[in-house]
Amino acid sequence: MSFSEFIRERRYLQNVSPATVSWYTHAFKWLSNESPSPAQLKDCVLRMREAGLKETGCNAAIRAINSYLNWHGSELRIPQLKEPQFILPTFSLAQVTLLLNWKPKNFYDRRLHLLVMLLLDTGARISEACTLRIADLDMENLLVTLDGKGRKQRLVPISFEFRKAVHRYLRDSSPSVYLLEGRTGKKANRLVMLKSAKDLCTRLGFTAPIRTLHAFRHTFAVNYLRRGGSTFHLQKVLGHSSLEMTRRYANLLTDDLSAIHERVSLLSR
């Protein structure tokens, strides 16, 4: 049994996505052979770290390798590395206000503004936003169908304000298939949208947070909980397979924790 046979079964029997196949293929490059010993598995992780992979990158490869080992019938497993817990980057409410109140002047500005509204209104991934088709919008019932990771679709609510913005955009821009398509009819390019979003933040007078496009998703998650949404419902909206992943996205900001502490502290009057 080999790497190629494992990937073949995953592709044709479990219908994994091309992105998952690529993930497996990349991870297996770290293994020196198809029946690794404990020492070889340890060396595999050491080489990842020596090559500069961060803990999250190593763990992604480790999950793929462990999946292969299980399929192979091996009892060996590589333990996950401990990952540092950083505060997730978000936009402040003042920055969100600036972004939403910005007045676009041309086609590309209008497309960018609609992207910002979509990400803030639904918590969608940038890949989901760029591949969103007009036909996936249920304007009457205020729902949108997003194509998530692993070919998993999910229905996500949209607001009245976003629906109005979509109507205006469709009237002025007239895309044919993809909501955020370019002039040539192709779907929006992620790197182009990233550069445009960063440039917009600079034009509005603030520095874009790191992982700018994903920071919109973090911002959505934090404010969803802050305004009374449950972690369970947030998990469904974000398309996470586990609550643990959702909790990592939905870290409350220091201001929220401080406000709660002021109410519950025994020293407060």
| Spatial CA neighbour of 214 closest among 88, 56, 111, 102 | 88
Cα-based angle 225, 143, 155 (whole degrees, multiple of 5): 70
Judge contact between 91 and 216, C-beta under 8 A: yes
The one-letter amino acid code at 58 reads: C
Positions annotated as catalytic residues are 125, 149, 214, 217, 240, 249
